[in-house]
Structure 1
């Protein structure tokens, strides 16, 4: 996931009435109203609207708004490769879409859904629910600052690891850089067993994409352990 920094500045005032809580479900009555809402999203409604207006992505963690920094080219290219890979396995995939996780709001880099694209459009989805998601993916973006980098890595490898398991998402993929190969990435595939994620396989992204017939971001090396489905 992209590195996030807490929001310190006061967002600008907006003249429109305070928005309704951000929806956590797919219900939409066609008139702009949503059903199935979380109080925690309502508490930050005005700030949410302001930053959506600015086009700045955010997450909510323990009631705090965290604004993301722009993704690096490596992050964008890698995320696209992972999404292409999952597109071949699931009815639909989405990137950087809000996901309601208990009282927190996350934005996985990629999610694979059991819904078709037509169902997504017909339901006018704005936020995904955990029971729609088959795979959640976080692509780690390392920060030059050691302290911020440690926070970002811990968020993906510990905090979200526990959160996604707690809401029953069947698979969690953590994608990370390979220090001596800027064109490739490692993919750790965790599967939910008895309420906890257990490592099922680790592979290079180039191996997974080449086996699936999707564009590779690096020259193939001898295959490592891969997911059973790939």
Structure 2
């Protein structure tokens, strides 16, 4: 049985404590156990990881998608595990926590982060949004296939939506895509992928 540390804790404490083969995040010094994702959630994550890998291999870009790497906040004792984290491998030499903790802190190491929304949607739309922006992650997707986000975030009536945030002059600007829309990505300008294709990857 996993024993939780008394909160708040530091990132260093979290890394030393964090057990293998379990998914945890650190939110402002508090350990958060990530729930087992649904099959639909994993279908979408797997499909997107496959499509993005095919694209960066095709373009011969020096990227990779790790399995369990963390993104460390620059302003708080927080560390997140995105559903998909695209790494710019040549920049990992500049990452102080990469070699031993498989953790990145620099926006220049992260061309793209993706969160597939589940019941803790507020973390994706508020907490992670703000900290990914501050870290300087140039592109952030929120894949809300169940339309769980608030109406002020995805519109009314609520519809399944992919929100793509681009970092412009240090602040995120959002473009939203639905149904047959083709995803527009700065990281992958030639990506030919529609919202329908992504959501239809779910095994029925």
> TM-score scaled to structure 2, two decimals?
0.66
**Partner residue of 2:124 out of 142, 145, 156:** 156
Q: 1:53-72 maps to which residues of 2 (within 5 A)?
A: 53=20, 55-72=21-38
Query: After TM superposition, what 4+ stretches of structure 1 lie above 3 angstroms from structure 2?
Result: 43-46, 203-208
Alignment of 1:139-150 (within 5 A): 139-142=116-119
Change (3 A) 1:40 1:171: same
- 1:223 is matched with which residue? none
State the SS of the aligned residue for 2:33: strand
- After TM superposition, the score normalised by the length of structure 1 is 0.59
2:10 is the alignment partner of 1:40: yes
For residue 115 of structure 2, give the secondary structure of its aligned residue in structure 1: strand
Distance 1:95 1:63 in 2: 23
Residue equivalent to 1:227:
none
Q: 1:82 to 1:206 in 2, by over 3 A?
A: farther
- In structure 1, the partner of 2:144 is 176
Separation in 2, partners of 1:156, 1:194? 21
SS in 1 for 2:200: coil
Name the counterpart of 1:196: 171
Compared CA separation, residues 162 and 205, structure 1 to 2 (3 A): farther
Task: Name 1:23's counterpart in structure 2.
Answer: none
Please give the root-mean-square deviation of Cα atoms over the aligned residues, in Å.
Answer: 3.5
**1:113/1:12 CA distance change after superposition, 3 Å:** closer
Q: What SS class does the counterpart of residue 192 from structure 1 fall into?
A: strand
In the alignment, structure 2 segments of 5+ residues that lack a partner are 94-98, 148-159, 184-190
Between the two proteins, the alignment pairs up a number of residues equal to 164
Is 1:129 the counterpart of 2:129? The answer is: no
Tell which deviates more after alignment, 198-207 or 60-69.
Answer: 198-207
State the distance in 2 between where 1:45 and 1:93 align.
Answer: 20
Question: Given the superposition, is the C-alpha separation of residues 174 and 45 from structure 1 closer, same or farther in structure 2, using an over 3 Å criterion?
Answer: closer
Deviations 1:90-126 (A, max 9, x none): 522234421112231110000112227xx9xxx6772
Out of 3, 24, 31, which is 1:11 matched to? Answer: 3
Unpaired runs of 5+ residues, structure 1, are 1-8, 14-38, 143-151, 180-184, 220-230
Cα displacement (A) at 1:63: 0.7
**What is the CA–CA distance in structure 1 between the aligned matches of 2:140 and 2:124, rounded to whole Å?**
10
SS in 2 for 1:211: coil
Q: Write out per-residue CA displacement over residues 184-227 of structure 1, whole angstroms, 9 at most, x where no aligned residue.
A: x632111011221111342449955x9359x76529xxxxxxxx
Asked whether the equivalents of residues 188 and 203 of structure 1 are also in contact (C-alpha less than 8 Å), the reply is no
Residues in 2 aligned to 1:40 and 1:12: alpha-carbon distance in whole angstroms: 13
Correspondence for 1:109 among 69, 72, 83: 83
